[in-house]
Amino acid sequence: MKLQVEREKIVKYLNLLITKGLTKGTGGNISIYNEEEGLVAISPSSVPYDILTPEDIMVVDLQGNIVDGNPKYAPSSETGMHLKAYNGRKDIKAFIHTHAMNCTAISCLREPLRAVDYMIAIAGTHEIKCAEYAMYGTPELAENAFEAMKGAKACLLANHGVNVGAEDIENAFAITEYVEFCAELYVKAKSMGEPVILSKEEIDRHIEKFGSYCKL
């Protein structure tokens, strides 16, 4: 089985999206890029996570051609968005797209997630931009997301959800959790008044200080 380790990890982390409250139903998708093989393991489209096995995870090349996986299933409808990241950025080897509640709520305002907490620095930026709206699964959404995530490890998708890319799936998942934590703080603070936002200079100091903070 091609990319067995990657496919096993995808099953694990898809189920963690549910148990950690980071998505609902079959919402969201996860992929891992094996640079040596030039192949991407990615979750199939619209399959309940609790019934997935590693054999069900799809494997595609960087052009989106199916190489392996359960013939009953198709790769995620957002495969193009994942491949856009892998083809365009050398620092991304794992990618998570999810519909985390608070991130999605902020995306409905079409505003960035701002630095209410220093842990936003874990995404490598002082504010997480919101990509312009486009229909799911389209080249337009893939392009918008890629542009919004430049210089960072995360972006919001307008009226949709959140993307995270990192050097491995462990870090991608950790960043996803912290970004949703920051989003929850932002939503709650906004409900009580106008939150005080940490400066770019302050967050830059945290980015530098973190160093390998999120290396798991």
Query: Would you name the residues annotated as active-site residues?
Result: 78
Chain centre to alpha carbon of residue 137: 15
How many residues are there in the chain?
216
Nearest to 153 by CA among 94, 199, 100: 94
Is the Cβ–Cβ distance between 118 and 204 less than 8 Å? no
Is the Cβ–Cβ distance between 88 and 71 less than 8 Å? no
Placement of tokens 């009953």 in the chain? 72
Long-range CB pairs of 43-46 (<8 Å, 24+ gap) are: 43/10, 43/14, 43/76, 44/69, 44/70, 44/73, 44/74, 44/75, 44/76, 45/73, 45/74, 45/75, 45/76, 45/77, 46/77
31 phi and psi, to 5 degrees? -140, 160
Placement of tokens 């309940």 in the chain? 48
